[in-house]
Structure 1
Amino acid sequence: MNNIGVHDVDVVVIGAGQAGLSSAYHLRRAGFEPERDFVVLDHAPGPGGAWQFRWPSLTFGKVHGMHALPGMELTGADPGQPSSEVVAAYFDRYEHAFDLRVRRPVDVRAVREGTDGRLLVETSAGTWAARALINATGTWDRPFWPRYPGQDTFRGRQLHTAQYAGPEEFAGLRVVVVGGGASGTQHLMELAPLATATTWVTRRPPVFREGPFTEEVGRAAVALVEERVRQGLPPRSVVSVTGLPLSDAVRRAIADGVLDRQPMFERIVPDGVVWADGRQVDADVILWATGFRAAVDHLAPLRLREPGGGIRVEGTRAVADPRIQLVGYGPSASTVGANRAGRAAVRDIRRLLAHEPAAAA
């Protein structure tokens, strides 16, 4: 700490989910020492990243594509145990095994331009001055709530996936589920046996993917998302371009009429939702499974956003400021993508701190 009460480090990592822990691991591998050379700040109460907030009925056996962190496999997990517990315990072991010394709970309030080319990271636990920043804040803290006419008049309950705690609370209720992603279909399949009625509504017809998720399919999907962030557009999720996996459970739900998709309604009324042709479905609950946005508001003082609304990124590096690495943003917003992006971000930071040219994307 210097004489004005600001902590000096080379690198601040914001977030200790998959992306943040992967980045911290690669910092250690590159010779950076925790607390002396870098610090990891996490706002959550404990290890586990966004996984710790997932609903209990999302067991580990239902999770698709959970990739292990670098350097330590996730083995022996009980498929019937809640994924929130499995992943939190795994992340906790990982933090201790590699001595990452995550500071939590710490809320990052703003990142500003400092002096001598440093960034000032203002938090609930003090201020850090850093030569580089790895932003690994993910999306869980920014659920997206669409707005529709009449929404404020609805007499029932409205909630987002981020608030979903399991199907039991919807027993005997009429539920409208909005959203064509994986969360929406998972909610519907859980709710249907307990609810009086369910209605599935999406803006676009869902696309179900036949066959295995091959490496070629994954590369093509990532390339589409990557092109958006290169253009400075808000990133789309990888699943939005890959489609939904057509598992046996999904096939049964389609056959049973649970996944009978309806087009988007026009407005919301006190007792339900109404389409343009006047058709109405009565509802007690509207569950918005409408996804999340990147949690990057704390970076606003740096003015990184492009006119298109996103942050233009080459690889993991913010084009407008090479000191900023965005890991878990856009094409790296998957568990395997976050691992690779953490390595790439640290490689770029080493070049930056050595005053070498940054790597080409």
Structure 2
Amino acid sequence: MLSTQTIHIEKTNTSRLPQVDFSNLEFGQTFSDHMFVADYANGEWQTPEIVPFQNFSLSPANPALHYGQAIFEGLKAYKNEDGEISIFRPEANLRRMNLSADRLCMPAFPEEIFMEGLKELLRVDADWIPTTAGSSLYIRPFMFATGEFLGVKPSDTYRFAIITCPVNAYYSSPLRVKVEETFARAVEGGFGFAKAAGNYAGSLYPAKKAAEEGYHQLLWTDGKTHQYFEESGTMNLMFIINDTLITPALSTSILAGVTRDTIIQIAKDRGLPVEERKVSVAEVMEAAQNGTLQEAFGCGTAAVISHIETIGYRGTDYQLPAVVNRKYSPALAQELNDIRLGKKADVHGWVVKA
């Protein structure tokens, strides 16, 4: 029976930490010394391990490569002013990962093993957690099929792993985004709500075309009518119109972002009206034209709060107020950061100490 007492730890003989320039980190390019790994076979999870960061060996007939049975998550760890390691809302990420697993016919991962394995991994690689302002340790749990067959069916075996990497900000400046009305990221009844690899693969080509036009990201619209906003690339999407925070309501085509949920709660705590509903493109673009669209931003674990300064729509770029003139989103971002770093009371119990 799998238990937290059976985590095997093998430490690296030579740390790569002295080679890292923490002042010059490209997001997702530098990886910590160790990783957590557990395999699923014979109907149960096997003994988990913490081992040196290394490549996996895969069969050419691996079904994840052929049929896309792969999911992942993203969360972050920090060090507070006392040097304590804190993880932000890890249970919420695991719940979402297990929802993704269920949708893709994959086994759920036990919460107790996830939490203890993650904490132990962070303790082993504690020196990899950066402490400069705006930096953090990005945590990537993921799971993929490990069978050896060709055929469209769920695998019988899987690998769950956690890797980490020190990071600075995902976006270093306000964003130029384009309203996408041709391609669709997801449709109702599909698996857009799951953090599955295939969702991101399908978004690459439209995003590439937008980048060629000078935009950082797309504002995805619904796949059926393209009349309603859904997400923005790697982020959930939020608007401030007439002193009200408005965000698309969750559905089977929208990822239930942990940062999204956090920002909504912080906004409510601060007395800012919040509306979770269908948000039409026409409504937002009209607000952009008449000046009632005060702010727009994306939010996510990697992006945190990323301010949108330009919205491209049908050949016209609409400029939003400069970030220095924004009343709400900078304050929301600051409060979120203060809670993560222990500078403000964590009244909702979001922070978990390692």
- Calculate the TM-score normalised by the size of structure 2: 0.25
With normalisation by structure 1, the TM-score equals 0.25
Larger Rg: 1
Higher RCO (Cα < 8 Å, 6 or more apart) = 1
Higher strand share: 2
Q: Which has the higher helix share?
A: 1
